[in-house]
Amino acid sequence: MTVAKLRGARERKRRDVGKCEGRKSHAERNPELVALAKRLRRQKPKGGRMSLRSISAELAAQGFVNERGNAYSAASINSMLRQLSSARVSAG
């Protein structure tokens, strides 16, 4: 009985919000961070893109660091940028 109630509650939340379990994404925790990472990825003085490590260094210089107080890794920056593009695809 309790299991059925919990399952029903999870299904309702998924239907309403789209997500009910798991770790919060960077976009959910700090949308300004993800937007800045996206802007930095597009911006480079002579065209092209900034590297993931240089984006991480710029974010750290602006005060955006991970939970441990270190600069974000290149893999974290990559996942932020992927989340943003996949959210855009699913919303459209």
pLDDT for res 64 = 92
Position 86 confidence tier, pLDDT thresholds 50, 70, 90: low
Q: Under 8 Å CB-to-CB from 36, ≥6 apart: which residues? A: 59, 62, 64
With beta carbons less than 8 A apart as the criterion, state whether 34 and 27 touch: yes
pLDDT, one tens digit per residue, over 28-80 is 888 898 899 988 888 766 777 888 999 999 999 999 999 899 999 999 999 88
Question: Hunting for tokens 């065209």 — which residue is that?
Answer: 47
What pTM does this model have? 0.66
Q: Which residue from 49, 31, 32, 30 is spatially nearest to 41, judged by alpha carbons?
A: 49
pLDDT surpassing 70 at residue 92: no
Q: Tell me which of 39 and 22 has the higher pLDDT.
A: 39
